[in-house]
Amino acid sequence: MGKKALSAEPPPLHSAPIDLAAHPIAMRLNGGVLAYLGKVAAVLLKDVRAELRGREIFSTMTAFSVLAVLIFGMAFDLRVPRAEMIAPGVLWVVVLFTGVLGLNRSFGAEVDRGTLPSLLLAPVDRSAIYFGKMLANLIFTLATALVILAVMFFIFDLNLFQPYNLAAMLLGVIGYVGVGTLFAALTANSRARETLLPILLLPVMVPVFVSGVALTAGVLDGKAWEDLSQWFGILAAFDAIFIVVAYLLFDLIWEDA
Amino acid sequence: MNESGLIVARNIVKRYGRKRVLNGVEMCVPQGQVMALLGPNGAGKSTLLRIISGLAKPDRGEILLGGVSTRKAGHEIRRYIGLVAHAPLLYDNLSAWDNLHFFARLYDIQQPAARVEAVLRAVDLWTRRHDPVRTYSRGMTQRLAIGRAILHDPPVLLLDEPDTGLDPSSAETLAQLIRMLSSGRRAILLTTHNLERAIAWADSISLLADGKIIWSTATEGLTSEKLRQAMTELEV
C-alpha cells in the first residue's frame, strides 16, 4: 500500500478500538516454491533495508577493506618488485578478513537486538532464513569486493576488473558466505562470537582461498581458460557441496534457540 | 486433567545444566479463556512460555496446541502462536510499518497492507507508522510488540510480563487490548507480577513454584488480598 492510498487518521484507541475480527485475514498455506522464495526475499529485503537505514555493516566492511589494502600496499612497496606477485594474495586475504565483519553481524545483530526469536517463531522452513541471510551477505560482500578491486587499481596500478577474475570472485564469495552464514548462525549465541567465527570459518575456506589466489594470479599472467578451468571447478564444487550441507544442517542449529 | 484445552502442557520437564527449572508442569487453557501464570522470579514462567511457543524444547513431556503435539507438528504449527516476550522482538531501525509488513510476508498473509493497517490502527500506532521503532516510548513499543504477535490472528497468545515498565495509561491501553483479544476463539496465557492486573485480565490464575503448578483458581470473586493470602500460605 502506498502512502497516497492511506485513509484519514483514526481516532485514538482508548476512544474507538478497532475490532480486528472485522478484518479477517487469509493466509496462504503450503504455497510451494513461490511462497518459499517469497520468504527468502522477505528476509533478504529486510536485511538490506535495515542496512540502508543503519549503515552498520557495509560502511564498516568498506572502511576496513580500504585500510587493509593501503597497509598491504605500504608493507610490500619497498620489497616486492612487481605488484602482480602479491596482488592475488592481498585481494583474497582482504576479502576473507573483511567478510568476517559482515558475517558476524548477520545473526549477531539479531541476537543483540533480541529479534532472533521473532524469526524462529515464523512458520517458515528455517532454510529460507538461511538463504535470505546468505543472499544479503552475498550482496554486502560482493559490493565490498568491488570497492577492494577499485582501491587495488589505484594502489597497485592493476586492473582486476577482468571477466575471469570477476567470475572467480563471484564463485569464491558465494562459497564463502554460504559457509560463513551457517557458521555465523552457529556462533551467534556465543559471547565470543567475534573471535570464534574466524577461527572456525577460515580453515574451512582454504580451498576457496587457494583456488581464488590461483585464478587471480592466472588472470594476471594472461593464462587461458584451459589452465583456469580446474580452479573454477574446485570453486563450483565447494559452493554446491557446502550450500547443500548448510541447507540440511540449518534447521538443527535452532532446535533449542 | 482436562485435555480439551487449546493449550495443554503434559508433564513438562526442563533442565538447564543440573538445575531442574520445570518439574512436571501440567496445565490446560481452554478456548476463549485467559490464564495468568504467577510465580516468583526464576520459577520458570518464561521458560514454560518459550517451550509452549516452540523456542525451547522440553526434556520430557509434550505441548498440545488445539490437540496437536508441537513435537510432531511441522513448522506450520507456529502459525497458531503469537508471543509477546520480554524483548519486543522488533527491528528498532525499521518503522512500525516495515516491521509488520516484513512479518506479514513471513506469515504468508494475503493482502498484507490491509492487515498491517488494521493492526496498526488497533494498537493506536497508525499516526506513527513510518517512524523508526527506536523513537517509540516503552508503551508504544509494547503495543507494537502485541501488534506483531496478533498480526497473523493466532488462536494461542502468550504474553510474558506484557505490563512490565508501563505507565498507568499504557497499562490501561494494554488492558483494553487484552480484553479485545480475549473474546472469542483465543486462548491467552500471560505472566505478570501484578496481582491486581492478573485478577482483572484473567479468567483463571495458576501459581508456578518449584517447577510445578501448585495452585489454580478462577478469578471470579477473587480479590488481591485473598490471592496474596493464598500465596503466603503456599510460601510463594
Please report whether residue A9 resides in a domain.
no
Residue-wise pLDDT for A129-138, tens only, equals 999 999 999 9
ipTM over 0.95? The verdict is: no
Residue A75 lies in a domain: yes
Nearest CA in chain B to A128: B106
Lookup: cell for B24: 512436571
Q: Which residues of chain B have pLDDT under 70?
A: 1-4
A252 burial level (CB within 10 Å; 0-12, 13-18, 19+): exposed
Q: Say yes or no to pLDDT of A154 above 60.
A: yes
Structural domain boundaries enclosing A42 = 31-253
Identity of the residue in B53, B89, B109 whose CB atom sits nearest the CB atom of A27: B109
Q: Is residue A193 part of a domain?
A: yes
Task: Identify whether A4 is part of a domain.
Answer: no
Which region, left, alpha or beta, applies to residue A52 given φ > 0 means left and ψ of -120 to 50 means alpha?
alpha
Q: Report whether B154 contacts B6 (CB < 8 A).
A: no
pLDDT band of residue A30 (cuts 50, 70, 90) is: low
pLDDT band at A1 (very low <50, low <70, confident <90, very high): very low
* Separation between Cα atoms, residue B144 and residue B122, nearest integer Å: 10
pLDDT of the residue at A3: 37
In a domain, A8, yes or no: no
Distance CA A35, CA A15 (A): 39
Give the HSE-up count for residue A5: Cα atoms under 13 Å, Cβ half-sphere.
5
Shortest distance between the Cα of B169 and any Cα of chain A, in A, equals 10
- Name the domain count of chain A: 1
- Nearest CB neighbour to A23, from listed B86, B108, B118: B118
Number of Cβ within 10 Å of residue B230's Cβ equals 15
- Amino acid A29: pLDDT: 62
**What distance in Å separates the CA atoms of residue A120 and residue A140, rounded to the nearest whole number?**
23
Which of B80, B93, B140 best probes binding to A when mutated, by most A CB atoms within 10 angstroms? B93
- Chain B residue whose CA is closest to A18: B122
- Per residue in B98-110, pLDDT tens? 999 999 999 999 8
Domains, chain B: 7-90+156-233 (3.40.50.300)
- Residue A1 placed within a domain: no
Asked whether residue A2 is assigned to any structural domain, the reply reads: no
Is it the case that residue A9 has pLDDT exceeding 70?
no
DSSP state of B92: T
CA distance A235 to B116: 44
Give the HSE-up count for residue A7: Cα atoms under 13 Å, Cβ half-sphere. 8
CA dihedral B102, B104, B110, B115 (to 10 degrees): -110
Task: Verify whether the Cβ–Cβ distance A120 to B111 is below 8 Å.
Answer: no
Is residue A197 within 8 Å of residue A185, measured between CB atoms? Answer: no
Asked if the structure places residue A147 within a domain, the reply is: yes
Q: Quick check: B68 contacting A, CB < 8 Å?
A: no
* Cβ-defined contact of B172 to A125 (cutoff 8 Å): no
